[in-house]
Every structure is written in structure tokens, then in C-alpha cells.
């Protein structure tokens, strides 16, 4: 009797272009605006990654195609120890896929809500690692625009990594940005005040994050967008009555320095300072060995408990209960006629290109990586509900407008992070 071969799957072509068939799908560990985040295992290398997938139809409906392509391009430019780096990118007929470094330690929002009180030494270590990531991004001429505990992930060892570049953009030394993007409670005064802004806004957002991690509350509050704006623009920075028992004077000094409304005096941005060196030399960071930290040789003071899930387990339940259509491997339709596709779908087909870190040299799209289309607000991305109650941690993205020219006198006083040195002729992929 002959062997039955009907149930055998076709062999995977690992030497061909990367696709979903190269991965085994495991549990869901997160949920984004347009899809889930799952643990996946590369079948040949056996390495685990995070798979972020975006439903094309939902993305088009929410007018977020430009954001997705922008994020795809920016992630190709980035490779840093404290960033959730892109390893592969590809698409099928229904979804766009980002395959990213796997972070099983949970996000800082999760740990903040679970622990309630986080020790100062732990917050200091995280902020030190994040300053390294932020300074790297600025040297790449990238503004993250949405730094908050939700977008900071821990790996299994306890190292902090910046993620979610959905509203990140390149900045120019010659023109200021004016569109409102990010999460309102973490927005700098120059964003909500619509005065024009650049990379310095990330340091403010890091300051709000540090305050919240230390004191389990945010420094600025308001039930509506108007009240929140007024608070960010005008309210003095108050610290809790028990602040001295939670944080040293040096730690409070760092938070005050980052939450400085005068940009030329803001920590990391001081016009007569040395940028990142002002942070490295601050007394709060005396215990930090920066070389050891940036090579990930420093021992994190907090290690996540890997015996339990460091994420909301309900993400898996959605698929189990068929609330959402489960992700499955599916072959692409052969020879799709791009001319017959709707404009947004064609844009995704042409511009969400394949990336494979084991083969591709990381490239920069700057200065050509200007917004690839209009970025519109959508019902899924607005922070103010119909009751006019603010959701302070919800990410918003306003239509991206042309940058405003920087006044000449502002340029003279602006600390410009030095550009990254040009990459070598061949960039070997990092593991």
C-alpha cells in the first residue's frame, strides 16, 4: 500500500523571500490598533521573535497607511541595544507583518500597575538605558513622539527597550514640526502649545515617564484636552508629600531638569551643555557605568518573573472564543495586477517592502523619508471620547503638516545632536 502524501505540507523555501511560512505561530502577547502581537519561532534558526501584524483593510479604513509605511521605513534605519529592533518585514494578501525582537518581560505600564511602587534604583536603571536609546534616535534624526510606560518593554533579563514607532518621524535642523502626535499626558508644552517643536520633546516625555514610575501618578492632569493642555503649559511641577521617601534629591533634580518648559534649559537640550553628557554627569547617575550599561553587561536591579505571564492573557482568549479571525498561514495570490488595486492597497504593496536582517543592509531613507502621505486622525486614534473625557495615555496622530521654518536665532541656541557616522560598506547583521 502506497504512502498517503495528501496531508503533507509543502517544504518551506528558506532561501527564498521571507514569509509567514518561515515561522511557527505561538501565543498572543499583545494587541495593537490594527492587529495582535504574537510570539513566533523561526523554523530554521529556532529563534523566538515577536510578530506584529496589521490588518490591511482595517488600516486603510482608519487612514493609517502612511503611518504604517513610515514605521516600516524608520525601523529599517534603527539597530540599538535598548530599542525593539526590526528583524523581518513582509506581507500577504490580508496583513502586513513586522517581526521584532521578543520582549517577554512585559511593558512598564503592566509592572507599574502590578507593583504600585517601584524602587528608585530600578527607575534610575531604566531611565539610564532609555536615555541611551533616545540619544541614539536623535543622532539618527528620528523623534519618537510617543515615549510612555506602555511603549517601554522589558526583556527576560530586565533591560528596558523603546518600542512602537507608529508616530515617529524624521526631524530637520531647518524646519520645526507642528502636527500634534503622541499621548497627551506625555506631550511637551511646545507640542500642545503649537509653537513648533523638534527632538527635544522626547526628553520631556521621558521626564513625565520617570515621574510616573517613581510616584505612580502623572505630573499634569485634566479631564478634557483643554484642561490637560493648560496643565502642561502652566501648572507648576508638584511632587507628592512623601516624595523624599521615594526618591533622592538627585532623582527629583533629573525629573525637574527633563520637565523644564524652557527648551534651552531642559536636561539633554541645554544650549551651553553637552547634550547627553549633561545626563551622564548628573549626580543621580553616578552609580551607572555607561560603557557597561550600553553593552548590556550591567545587571538590571529588577528581573521580571518569567514563571508567570507579564502581559494580559485575554489577548489569547479573543482568538480562542473566535472574537477575532485567527491568524493563519496563507499563500499570496499569484501575479496580482497592481493597476487594478485601490490606491491605498497599491501603496502598501509597493512601499511596505520585504526586509530580512540576515541578508539586507540597513539603509536610511533620510532625507527622502518625509511623510509618505497625509496622516489623518481616525476614530481609533483620538484621545478624546464623545463625552469629552480625556484618555491621557491613548496615542493620537494629527494630520502631518509641513514643518515650520526654525527662527534663525533659535538655531543658534539649539543643541544639535551630532549625526551618526556613515555606515561601513557592509553592515553585518546583529543577532
Domains, the chain, in order of start with CATH, read 20-103+311-356 (3.30.200.20), 108-308+384-413 (1.10.510.10)
Percent of the chain with pLDDT over 70: 77
Which H or E run includes 73?
Answer: helix 65-77
**Residue 88, beta-bridge partner list:** 99, 356
**Number of other residues whose CB lies within 10 A of the CB of residue 206:** 28
Q: For residue 382, with 0-12 CB atoms within 10 Å meaning exposed, 13-18 middle and 19 or more buried, which class applies?
A: middle
**Which whole-number Å values give the CA distances from 6 to 10, 326, 330, 332, in the listed order?**
10, 24, 18, 21
- Average pLDDT value over all residues in the chain: 82
Is residue 183 predicted with pLDDT exceeding 80? Answer: yes
**Shortest CA distance to 86 belongs to which of 18, 12, 172?**
18
Q: What is the pLDDT of residues 393-410, one digit of tens each?
A: 777 766 444 344 444 344
Q: Is-above-0.85 flag for pTM?
A: no
Q: Is 325 exposed, middle or buried (0-12, 13-18, 19+ CB in 10 A)?
A: exposed
Question: Of the listed 79, 107, 146, 202, which one is catalytic?
Answer: 146
- Could you tell me which of 402, 394, 376, 428 has the C-alpha nearest to residue 178? 402
Q: What is the pLDDT of residues 342-398, one digit of tens each?
A: 889 999 999 999 999 988 777 777 665 554 443 333 333 334 433 445 677 777 766
Say whether 146 is catalytic: yes
For 417, the 3-state DSSP assignment is: coil
Tell me whether residue 36 is annotated as binding.
no
Least confident piece of the model among 35-44, 153-162, 184-193, 325-334: 325-334
Query: Does 280 sit behind a cis peptide bond, omega within 30 degrees of 0 on the bond before it?
Result: no
Give the residue from 191, 196, 186, 189 showing the smallest Cα distance to 219: 186
pLDDT at residue 324 in the model: 57
Task: List the one residue out of 417, 299, 342 whose CA is nearest residue 60.
Answer: 342
CA distances from 226 to 76, 79, 93, 234, 387 (A): 37, 38, 42, 12, 14
pLDDT in tens, 121-165: 999 999 999 999 999 999 999 999 999 999 999 999 999 999 999
- On the 0-12 / 13-18 / 19+ scale of CB atoms within 10 A, 370 is middle
pLDDT at 33: 67
Q: Strands (DSSP E) along 136-258, which ranges?
A: 142-143, 152-154, 160-162, 169-170, 175-176, 181-183
Give residue 406's pLDDT. Answer: 42
Give 42-101 pLDDT, tens digit per residue: 999 999 999 999 999 999 998 889 989 999 999 999 999 999 999 999 999 999 999 999
Phi and psi for 398 in degrees, rounded to 5? -85, 160
Amino acid at each position: 500500500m502506497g504512502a498517503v502524501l495528501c496531508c503533507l505540507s509543502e517544504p518551506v523555501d528558506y532561501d527564498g523571500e521571507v514569509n509567514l511560512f518561515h515561522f511557527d505561530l505561538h501565543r498572543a502577547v499583545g494587541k495593537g490598533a490594527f492587529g495582535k502581537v504574537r510570539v513566533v519561532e523561526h523554523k530554521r534558526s529556532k529563534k523566538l521573535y515577536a510578530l506584529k501584524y496589521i490588518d490591511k483593510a482595517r488600516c486603510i479604513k482608519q487612514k493609517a497607511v502612511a503611518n504604517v509605511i513610515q514605521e516600516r521605513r524608520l525601523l529599517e534605519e534603527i539597530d540599538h541595544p535598548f530599542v525593539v529592533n526590526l528583524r523581518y518585514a513582509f506581507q500577504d494578501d490580508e496583513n502586513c507583518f513586522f517581526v521584532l525582537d521578543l520582549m517577554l518581560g512585559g511593558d512598564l505600564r503592566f509592572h507599574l500597575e502590578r507593583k504600585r511602587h517601584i524602587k528608585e534604583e530600578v527607575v534610575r536603571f531604566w531611565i539610564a538605558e532609555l536615555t541611551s536609546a533616545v540619544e541614539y534616535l536623535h543622532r539618527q534624526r528620528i523623534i519618537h513622539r510617543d515615549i510612555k510606560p506602555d511603549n517601554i518593554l522589558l526583556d527576560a533579563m530586565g533591560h528596558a527597550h523603546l518600542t512602537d514607532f507608529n508616530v515617529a518621524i524624521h526631524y530637520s535642523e531647518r524646519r520645526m514640526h507642528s502636527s500634534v502626535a503622541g499621548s497627551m499626558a506625555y506631550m511637551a508644552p511646545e507640542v500642545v502649545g503649537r509653537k513648533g517643536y523638534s527632538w527635544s520633546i522626547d526628553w520631556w516625555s521621558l521626564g513625565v515617564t520617570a515621574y510616573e514610575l517613581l510616584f505612580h501618578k502623572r505630573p499634569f492632569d485634566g479631564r478634557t484636552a483643554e484642561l490637560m493642555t493648560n496643565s502642561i503649559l502652566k501648572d507648576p511641577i508638584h511632587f507628592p508629600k512623601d516624595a523624599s521617601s521615594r526618591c533622592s534629591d538627585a532623582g527629583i533634580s533629573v525629573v525637574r531638569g527633563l520637565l523644564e518648559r524652557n527648551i534651552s534649559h531642559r536636561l539633554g537640550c541645554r544650549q551651553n551643555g553637552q547634550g547627553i553628557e549633561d545626563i551622564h554627569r548628573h549626580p543621580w547617575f553616578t552609580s551607572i557605568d555607561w560603557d557597561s550599561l550600553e553593552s548590556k553587561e550591567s545587571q538590571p536591579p529588577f528581573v521580571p518573573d518569567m514563571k508567570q505571564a507579564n502581559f494580559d492573557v485575554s489577548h489569547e482568549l479573543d482568538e480562542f472564543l473566535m472574537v477575532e479571525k485567527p491568524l493563519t498561514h496563507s499563500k499570496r495570490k499569484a501575479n496580482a495586477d497592481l493597476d487594478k488595486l485601490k490606491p491605498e492597497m497599491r501603496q502598501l504593496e509597493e512601499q511596505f517592502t520585504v526586509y530580512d536582517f540576515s541578508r539586507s543592509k540597513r539603509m536610511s531613507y533620510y532625507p527622502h523619508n518625509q511623510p509618505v502621505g497625509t496622516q489623518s486622525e481616525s476614530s481609533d486614534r483620538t484621545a478624546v471620547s464623545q463625552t469629552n473625557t480625556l484618555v491621557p495615555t491613548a496615542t493620537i496622530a494629527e494630520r502631518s503638516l509641513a514643518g515650520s521654518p526654525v527662527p534663525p536665532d533659535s538655531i543658534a541656541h539649539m543643541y544639535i545632536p551630532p549625526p551618526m557616522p556613515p555606515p561601513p560598506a557592509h553592515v553585518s547583521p546583529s543577532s
